[in-house]
Structure formats: structure tokens, C-alpha cells
Chains A and B, each alone.
Chain A
Amino acid sequence: MKSFKMGVRNTLNNWRHSLGSMLSVAIGFAALTLFNGYISVVQDMYEDNYRQRSMFGDVMIEKSRNGKAIDFEDSRINEKEQQFIENFITENRSLVDQHARFLIVSGFANNGKSSAIYWGFGYDLEKGRQLRDPTWPWNSKAGKPLDLQSEDAVMLGEDIGDTFGCVPERNERLLTKVGGYTAVERPFRCERPNLQLTVTTDSGQVNAMAVTIGALGGVGLRGIDSWYLMMSLPKAQALHDTRDISHIRLRLKDKKMFGTFVERFNSAASSAQLELRAFDWREHILARVYKRTMSLFLIFRDLVSAVILTISGMSVLNAMVKSVNERQREIGTLRSLGFRGSRIISIFTTEGVVIGLFGSAVGGALSVVASLFLNRVEFIYYAGFLSDPVPFVIGLVPRLYLYSLFILCSIAAIASFFAARRAVKISIPALLSST
């Protein structure tokens, strides 16, 4: 505490030199928090798009072979296995918040005039809506979500909708500031309102079914929306002539219980001699775009952080060396009074920490002001695969501020330590006679 007080006093007494170091820390802090704040918002957007809008939840349960993943399109969970999963979920209600069953559907769609390949899911509509809560209960850009329609309705991705001549009546930006669409039925028109879906079943038989185009929406991922189709699970099962499903997705009450749930489920399935596997949805092949996008962000984040921190570190070291050099007489006096070298180093190191704290406070304020300003400007752009244009937003994430504070204070302390260590090695007469 005494060292800290001395550090504060020294910083204030030598404010002009401290100012240089503080500025370096402040700009480093602001740059770090602004860039990481931006990356964290884009990461959240992608996560929200997968976890809620695309209903991935927290955990997926799929078929496995010898405890290992199989091709997801070959995964078929039969009725007996579904019952086992349902029983397990009922027994573990304290862990599971929501869950829904999904069956992959793919084939050819035709409206009598044009045809296109479709790929998507049949799912439990009501439970799916609960998985999308609270941000995406309303997932349709035009028309109503499927859970508010008859079982014959399908939702088409916006781009495949285009192929069938289905377009929203109004072209508007729908994404709200907190994510999700406002729950309003927006009209759309189609060249022809009905589609015929055909599939080749597992036995090689070709099945067909007539459906109505009930909504345009999709999963908000460019490319995927040019194939995407969603329908009710019973309809999808009827189309494929099966009672099986592809997988189950669950949302946990507490994400921290992920490990417990997965361990319990996998051991229960293994005891029941069922080839089923619970795992993090991020490991699924369908989440590959998410995973790869996140790793690209990490490459950028690390590169940018490394450059910013090194430049700031150099700048702080520069300022601290100057500060220490100009206070050599002071150091000489302290040494002649009996202060040990280590004590003097600790005083300067503490001063470095204080400068780091002040600098971070200034940088923090700068970062908050810049973030608020940029967030107000609402510069709209397309963020990679997200099909909706999104605003350029910088997140104010306390964790990032604390992390930056720690890093920059450490850099300031290390810079001060090295600057002071050099000075205390000089002899006392030389220190006292320095100008």
C-alpha cells in the first residue's frame, strides 16, 4: 500500500513524463478494447445465428458408431432410441431447458414451372420455437413462422424462394438492434403458392408430397439460404416414409452443466447398449462454417493484438527509460540513504502499474466514447456469411476491459522494471553527479 501511494505521488510529481507513458497505455488500451469489442460482437452475431436462429441450442444427440461420429446424413435415430432419449431428458429435467427433434430432408422441389434442389429440416415446430427463444421466436422475413401455420406449410430460404418467384412485398431491413425480427406478418407473393417436394428414400424409392409456401426466412446464412427449406417433422417423416429422426438438439438450463449432461447421457446410452452420442453442436459438421469463421477471427484478433501491444510496449518502455534517466539523482539520493536496489526497482515498477492504471482509465473512457459514437453512426455492412446486412457495432465487454487492463498494466510494470534495473546498477557517485 505504501509503495502504491508512493507510486501515485511519483506519477503526479513527474506528470509530464508520466503523461507520455500514460498516453501510450491509453491508446494501446483503446485500440485493444475497440478491436476486440468489434470481434466479440461479430462472434456473438454468428453464435446467435447458430444457437438460437438455427436452433442448435447447446447439445446435439446423434447416432454414433463405436462411440465415434458418423456421417451426419447417415444418422437415423429409431423410435426405440428416441424413447430412450425422451426418458433420459425427463429424468434430467433439472438440466434440460428445451429440446426438439430434427430430420434432414433433401431432394428436388418443383412448382410446375421451375425446379430447384432443396435441403433442410423437418422439426418439432413448437419445441423449435422454444429453442429460438428469446431472440428468434419470429424467424420469418415474410409470412408467419411455421409454428403459427398449418402443417402443410414450408418455410423457404430467401434465395431458394427467389428461384420459385417468391419475393417479399417490401424490401426492408428487418434485423433489430438486439437481434431477431419484429413479430409482424410481412406479406410476400409467389408465382405459384404450392410446391411438390420429391425425395429418394433410404430404400431407393422416390416419394413426393405437395406443400404450401408459408414463409420466407431461412437461417440467415448466405449460400445455405439458396437451398434451405423447413417443414414440420410429421410431414418430413411422411415424405421420407420413416418414423426415424436425424438428431435431437437441446438447450440446457445452465450452460455450465454441459459437461455433466454429456457425461451422464453418454454413459447412460452406453449402459443401454445404444449407439448414441451427445456432444457440443460446435463439433458438428453443420457448424463448420461457424467454427472456421471463428478461427479466422482469432487469427485477426491475435495479429492485431500482437502488433498493438508491441507498439504500445515499446512506447511505454521509451517513456519509462526517459523518466528513470532524468531521475537518476533521485535514485542516487535514495541509494545513498540506504535504499536497496530491489526497493527502488519496486518503487518504479509500482509507478509503472499506476501509470498503467491511469492510462487504462483514460483509454477506457476513450474506448467507451468511441464505441458509443460508432454504434450511433450505424454503418451497415455484410458480415461474411450472414445474409442480413448488419450494423458496425463495437461491444462494451467488461471482460475485455479487465483483460486489457491486466495486459497493459503488466507491460507498463515490466517496462518500468527494466528501465529501473538499468539505473540501479550505476554507482551512487555516478548517479548523484548525473545531470
Chain B
Amino acid sequence: MTTRLALAFKNLGRNRRRNLATASAIVLGYAGLILLGGFVTRIEKFFRATSVYVNHIGSLSIYKPEGVEKHLLKPRKYSLSPDEQMKARQVLERIFPQHEGIGASLHGFTLVGNGCKTWPVRISGLEPALEEKLLKHWAVEKYAPELLNSRRGKALWEFKNMIPILVTEKVARNLGKDNLNLDHSLPSSAPASTTVPDCNAADFRAQSSNDPNVQLAGRTFQNNFSAIDAEIVGFYSSGLELLEESAAQLPLEALQKLYETEAVTKMAIYLPWDTPVEENAALLNSELKKAGLDLEVHHFKEFSVNPFYAGFMNLIYVMSAFFLTLAVCVVTLTVSDTMTMSVLERSKEIGTLRAVGFKKQQISRMFSEEGTLLGLLSLPVGLLVAWTVTLIVNAAKILFEVPGISTRLEVVLEIDPVHCAVAGVLLVTVTSISGWITSVRTSRRQIVKLLQSHVS
């Protein structure tokens, strides 16, 4: 084994220029795959942090059966009752003691008004304490800082004695509230009285733009009309362009008050970042059934709960898989090409080895090891190239626009050790097989013919 390896190593040195060119093809292929992987990883992590933590999809979420599709159609029927919430929470606590947070949320539509003009919004009722934990999660700070930077004003958890509401900047603009002084300290309790504005007054716009008070109106779960007052305490971004037109958040309790219910649309659990969600969703599903709860479990990669993540990543994965296939084919052929030339040139040598007693398999193995060695020697260089490019790109702070995302993202390439290992194993296997295949045919020829052969 050691002798063969030493031989393979020496042989590589014999045709340095050619092997260098082949090695550079492997280096480039490897670096290309790592960089593409780094780009895809960056996008995936941004989407994951955005959807799981910022948009409260959670690692796993629990709905009523068909609740994902129908909770807006029949909120009363497709929401989780307080009893179901309590039991589900117990199951979650029991089987996922390592969780980072468990929370309930309520989703629906409501009209937000400034006293004279109303604007429809998709509203989410959130648990303020959990919201604080999620927005301070390391993954959000690391992978989606753009969304945190786009927030203005204060957060929901900072207010106890009033109903705070966060709206997107577009909603604020449509209500004439986009110039609110959000950094000015807001009262921590609701104003003692609110005055009815004169919509036809000349200074209405100016007055309204300084007033954080808005009215929320909607239908309760019993289909009655209901309304509450709230104070705009900040502007936020969901990260999704489509929601920027009409989205708002307020404490869960306040939204439950508006809808006159104690139910919630879903419960979500936040598991540690790299926890596999598919298996855990299946586990949770069976545990809920055992606990006698007829509920449905979804994980964040599912189309039904996270169509944006699933659809976009699907496209990216298809393109990457296609690229991977093509890159591997190109590298395989390049290596085979070099190996073929090498084997043809060394027909006499193969004949001599056969004549002194080397078996055909031994010769094929030697060439295979040459290929393996070439691949192995190229990988660190490829890694170095990828690492250098990553450093340059990351230092350049390039911004790019992702379809459907409301903020521009910084191109931060991240070298993923798993990607490196997989791509490395793949390329070394390819070079090894190429060396083996190209030598098999030649080593099968008669020794005499091999010894007589010359390179054309």
C-alpha cells in the first residue's frame, strides 16, 4: 500500500505541468462548488431566521386539522381552545425539553383607522415576552440583521399598561402616521381620554401625523363588530415585500380582546437551530395523538405554512443540483482525459510492471491512487481559493436584492464544513474512479503489445 502510494506520488511529479492543469480544474470545480454552497447557505439561513423567528412560523407549529388553510375562513372552528393550548404546551415541554421557546399566536384581519381613514391589515397577536426572546435570538442577529436594522421605535414588550401596535412603514404612510416621532418617549400607559378628530379641519393631517393613537376594528369570533384603541409604538418589517403593504402586530392578549376569544390560531415551538424538523414533526404528531389531541403538526420547510421559503429554496436547490451535476461531469471528463493521456504514454511502463509480476488490479489500483492523490492534493488548494474569495466578497460588503424580500441583503458567503466534505468526497471519488477506469483497459492488453507500444 505504502509502496503503491509512493509510486503514485512519484508518478504525479513526472508530468507536473499536465497534472497541474488537471489539478487546477479540480481546484476550480471544488472552489466553485464551495462558493455556490456558501451563497445558497447564506440565502437559506436568512430565510430560515426570518420565517422561523421574525415571522413566528416556529421550527414546528401546531394547528387544528386543516387549520392552516381555513383559520381565516372559520376562525372559531379552526383555532386552538385554551384547553388544547395547555395540553399541547405540556406535550411540547415533555418531549422537547431543549426548546428555546414555546408560544401561541393569533392571526386575522382588521381595519386600522386614524379616526378619518381606515386601512385593512393582516394582524398577528404575539406573546411579547417570547417576541423579545425571538428578536434577540443569535440567529436573527447573525443571519437577518437587515430586518432588525429596519425596525424603528420601540417594541411590544416595552409596554405594560397600554396596547402597543407595530405597523409596517407603508401602513403608517397610508394612515398619515409615517412622520411619528417614535424615538420620543411614548407614554407607558394609555392616554386618559381620546378626542374625536375633525376630519375636515385644515390641520387634521398635521395633528394626525403626531398622534400615535389608532383604532382597530374587526369581527369577533362570534361574528360581532368589535373595536379597540392602540398606540403605534414602532415600525417593523416582516422581510416579505408582499406583507409590507398591510401588516401589523400587537400583543396576543389585545388581539384576543378584539376578537373576543381566548383561542389562538397556532402554537409554535422554537427548537435549537440545527435540530432536524421532519422527524421531530412526526414525533410530535404521534405524541399529540397519544395525548388525545386531534391537532396537526407542520414544520417550517413545508409549503403550506411557509410557501415563500419552500418555493424559493426549491428553485435554488434545483439550480444548484443541476450545476453540481454539470460541474462533476466536466471535472470527471477533464480528469479522465488527463488520465487517458497518461495511461497511453505509460503503456510500456504498464507492460514492464506486468512483466515483473504486477497484477492487472494492482496496476489499476495504482492509477486509481494517482487520481485519488491528485484529488486530495487539489482539495486544500480549492479550499484556500474559496476561502480567499469568501474573504474578499465578505469584505466588499456587496448588497444584493432577493426577489420578494423587502430589504437588500449583504452578500455574506459562508463556508459550510459539511458542503466542503461532501463536495470533496465527491470529487476525490470521481478522480479515483477516472484513474481506475482509464487504466483497466490498457492493463488488460497483452504484455508483449504493451512493451512494443509507442505513443503516437
A interface list, Cβ under 8 A from B: 14, 16-17, 20, 23-24, 27-28, 31, 34-35, 38-39, 42, 106-108, 110, 113-117, 119, 162-165, 191, 200, 204, 206, 222-224, 226-227, 288-290, 292-293, 295-296, 299-300, 303-304, 306-308, 310-312, 314-315, 317-319, 321-322, 326, 381-386, 392
Closest partner residue, chain A, to B122 (CB atom): A117
Asked if B80 is at the interface of the complex by the 8 Å CB criterion, the answer is: no
> Given the known A-B contacts A27-B330, A307-B29, A308-B326, are A16 and B456 also in contact in the complex, defined by CB atoms under 8 Å?
yes
Asked if B81 is at the interface of the complex by the 8 Å CB criterion, the answer is: no
| The 8 nearest A-B residue pairs measured at CB | A307-B32, A318-B21, A292-B403, A384-B315, A31-B326, A315-B334, A293-B403, A117-B120
State the CA gap A299–B330 with chains docked (Å).
20
Asked if B196 is at the interface of the complex by the 8 Å CB criterion, the answer is: no
Are A304 and B241 in contact, with the CB atoms below 8 A?
A: no
Would you mind naming 24 contact pairs between A and B with Cβ atoms under 8 Å apart?
A: A16-B344, A20-B337, A31-B327, A108-B111, A114-B72, A114-B73, A114-B75, A115-B109, A117-B120, A163-B72, A200-B117, A200-B119, A223-B307, A223-B404, A226-B242, A288-B241, A292-B403, A303-B36, A304-B327, A308-B330, A318-B22, A318-B338, A381-B314, A381-B315
Are B21 and A289 in contact, with the CB atoms below 8 A?
A: no
Interchain nearest-CB distance for A313 vs B (Å): 9
Which of B18, B307, B404, B456 is close to A321, meaning CB atoms less than 8 Å apart? B18
Are A392 and B25 in contact, with the CB atoms below 8 A?
A: no
Asked if B358 is at the interface of the complex by the 8 Å CB criterion, the answer is: no
List chain A residues, Cβ under 8 A from B307.
Answer: 222-223
Are A162 and B69 in contact, with the CB atoms below 8 A?
A: yes
List chain B residues, Cβ under 8 A from A289.
Answer: 241, 403-404
Are A223 and B21 in contact, with the CB atoms below 8 A?
A: no
Are B109 and A385 in contact, with the CB atoms below 8 A?
A: no
List chain A residues, Cβ under 8 A from B303.
Answer: 382
Which of A24, A300, A308, A315 is close to B327, meaning CB atoms less than 8 Å apart? A308
Are B334 and A24 in contact, with the CB atoms below 8 A?
A: yes
Please choose the segment from B143-151, B161-169, B289-297, B316-324 that sits at the chain A interface, where 4 or more of its residues have CB less than 8 A away.
B316-324
List chain A residues, Cβ under 8 A from B18.
Answer: 318, 321-322
Are A23 and B337 in contact, with the CB atoms below 8 A?
A: yes
List chain B residues, Cβ under 8 A from A227.
Answer: 242
Asked if B311 is at the interface of the complex by the 8 Å CB criterion, the answer is: yes
List chain A residues, Cβ under 8 A from B32.
Answer: 303-304, 306-307
Closest partner residue, chain A, to B335 (CB atom): A315
Interchain nearest-CB distance for B195 vs A (Å): 18
State the CA gap A315–B18 with chains docked (Å).
9
Are A314 and B25 in contact, with the CB atoms below 8 A?
A: yes
> Given the known A-B contacts A38-B322, A385-B311, are A292 and B109 also in contact in the complex, defined by CB atoms under 8 Å?
no
Which of A113, A226, A314, A383 is close to B73, meaning CB atoms less than 8 Å apart? A113
List chain A residues, Cβ under 8 A from B323.
Answer: 35, 300, 303-304
Which of B75, B109, B241, B337 is close to A315, meaning CB atoms less than 8 Å apart? B337
How many contacts between A and B, using CB within 8 angstroms?
181
List chain B residues, Cβ under 8 A from A107.
Answer: 120
Interchain nearest-CB distance for B197 vs A (Å): 11
Interchain nearest-CB distance for B378 vs A (Å): 12
State the CA gap A110–B223 with chains docked (Å).
11
State the CA gap A357–B187 with chains docked (Å).
77
Which of A16, A191, A311, A384 is close to B334, meaning CB atoms less than 8 Å apart? A311
Closest partner residue, chain A, to B307 (CB atom): A222
List chain B residues, Cβ under 8 A from A222.
Answer: 307-308, 311
Asked if B387 is at the interface of the complex by the 8 Å CB criterion, the answer is: no
State the CA gap A401–B402 with chains docked (Å).
29
List chain B residues, Cβ under 8 A from A113.
Answer: 73-74, 223
Which of B28, B73, B337, B400 is close to A299, meaning CB atoms less than 8 Å apart? B400
Are B401 and A295 in contact, with the CB atoms below 8 A?
A: yes
State the CA gap A226–B111 with chains docked (Å).
18
List chain B residues, Cβ under 8 A from A14.
Answer: 456
Which residues of chain B (191-249) have a CB below 8 Å from chain A?
199, 218-219, 223, 240-242, 245-246
Interchain nearest-CB distance for A165 vs B (Å): 5
Which residues of chain B (19-47) have a CB below 8 Å from chain A?
21-22, 24-25, 28-29, 32, 35-36, 39
State the CA gap A317–B18 with chains docked (Å).
9
State the CA gap A386–B315 with chains docked (Å).
10
Asked if B285 is at the interface of the complex by the 8 Å CB criterion, the answer is: no
B interface list, Cβ under 8 A from A: 17-18, 21-22, 24-25, 28-29, 32, 35-36, 39, 69-70, 72-75, 109, 111, 116-122, 199, 218-219, 223, 240-242, 245-246, 303, 307-308, 310-312, 314-315, 318-319, 322-323, 326-327, 329-331, 333-334, 337-338, 340-341, 344, 400-405, 455-456
State the CA gap A227–B327 with chains docked (Å).
41
Closest partner residue, chain A, to B31 (CB atom): A307
Are B28 and A314 in contact, with the CB atoms below 8 A?
A: yes
State the CA gap A16–B455 with chains docked (Å).
10
Are A204 and B116 in contact, with the CB atoms below 8 A?
A: yes
Closest partner residue, chain B, to A288 (CB atom): B241
State the CA gap A343–B284 with chains docked (Å).
76
Which of A117, A119, A292, A382 is close to B311, meaning CB atoms less than 8 Å apart? A382
Are B326 and A34 in contact, with the CB atoms below 8 A?
A: yes
State the CA gap A314–B330 with chains docked (Å).
11
Are B308 and A223 in contact, with the CB atoms below 8 A?
A: yes
Interchain nearest-CB distance for A404 vs B (Å): 13
List chain B residues, Cβ under 8 A from A312.
Answer: 330, 334
List chain B residues, Cβ under 8 A from A114.
Answer: 72-75
State the CA gap A307–B118 with chains docked (Å).
54
State the CA gap A106–B109 with chains docked (Å).
14
Are B73 and A191 in contact, with the CB atoms below 8 A?
A: yes
Interchain nearest-CB distance for B205 vs A (Å): 11
Are B333 and A314 in contact, with the CB atoms below 8 A?
A: no
State the CA gap A381–B120 with chains docked (Å).
34
Are A311 and B29 in contact, with the CB atoms below 8 A?
A: yes
State the CA gap A319–B405 with chains docked (Å).
47
State the CA gap A300–B456 with chains docked (Å).
42
State the CA gap A209–B116 with chains docked (Å).
20
Are B111 and A311 in contact, with the CB atoms below 8 A?
A: no
Are A314 and B21 in contact, with the CB atoms below 8 A?
A: yes
List chain B residues, Cβ under 8 A from A191.
Answer: 73
State the CA gap A21–B163 with chains docked (Å).
73
State the CA gap A381–B116 with chains docked (Å).
47
List chain A residues, Cβ under 8 A from B456.
Answer: 14, 16
Closest partner residue, chain A, to B326 (CB atom): A31
State the CA gap A39–B320 with chains docked (Å).
12
Closest partner residue, chain A, to B204 (CB atom): A204
Closest partner residue, chain B, to A162 (CB atom): B69
Interchain nearest-CB distance for A377 vs B (Å): 13
Which of A204, A315, A382 is close to B310, meaning CB atoms less than 8 Å apart? A382
State the CA gap A165–B77 with chains docked (Å).
13
Are B402 and A319 in contact, with the CB atoms below 8 A?
A: no
List chain A residues, Cβ under 8 A from B72.
Answer: 114, 116, 163
Are A384 and B333 in contact, with the CB atoms below 8 A?
A: no
Closest partner residue, chain A, to B199 (CB atom): A204
List chain A residues, Cβ under 8 A from B120.
Answer: 106-108, 117
Closest partner residue, chain B, to A394 (CB atom): B322
Interchain nearest-CB distance for A21 vs B (Å): 8
Interchain nearest-CB distance for B43 vs A (Å): 9
Closest partner residue, chain A, to B313 (CB atom): A384
State the CA gap A113–B455 with chains docked (Å).
85
State the CA gap A38–B326 with chains docked (Å).
12
Are B73 and A162 in contact, with the CB atoms below 8 A?
A: yes
